């Protein structure tokens, strides 16, 4: 099961995950009017390299979040052509007060 990006990424978009993904499965997009990232389930090889790169723990195994698995799959096709964002420093505090650093 591919990994997925969850609601913790809404409005955050750190971007380090894009740089380490060996299959370029992670793409920037927006969801509900906020910055967001998605993982393309057709491209993700479930290697897990992206997991430790997310400072707020927004990336999970798809089986753990069926709702976000569906959202990632729906948004991925149109997100593939979006330009890669500049990485945000991993020590930049989360913008959403509900998010906490996991590192």
Which residues, listed in sequence order, are joined to residue 36 by a DSSP beta bridge? 29
Distance CA 66, CA 74 (A): 12
Looking up tokens 């997009």 gives 29
The rounded percent of the chain whose pLDDT value lies above 90 is 89
Q: Is 94 helix (H, G, I), strand (E, B) or coil?
A: coil
Q: Per-residue confidence at 103, pLDDT binned at 50, 70, 90?
A: low
Q: Per-residue confidence at 81, pLDDT binned at 50, 70, 90?
A: very high
pLDDT tens column, 32-47: 999 999 999 999 999 9
Domains of the chain: 3-79 (3.30.70.20)
Tokens of 23: 């299959």
Tokens of 21: 């993904």
């Amino acid at each position: 099961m591919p990994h997925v990006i969850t609601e913790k990424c809404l409005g955050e978009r750190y971007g380090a995950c894009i740089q380490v993904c060996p299959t370029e499965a992670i793409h920037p997009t927006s969801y509900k009017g906020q910055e967001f990232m998605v993982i393309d389930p057709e491209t993700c090889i479930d290697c897990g390299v992206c997991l430790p790169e997310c400072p707020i723990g927004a990336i999970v195994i798809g089986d753990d979040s069926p709702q976000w698995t569906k959202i990632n799959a729906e948004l991925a096709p149109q997100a593939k052509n979006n330009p890669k964002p500049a990485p945000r420093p991993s020590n930049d505090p989360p913008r959403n007060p509900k998010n906490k650093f996991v590192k």
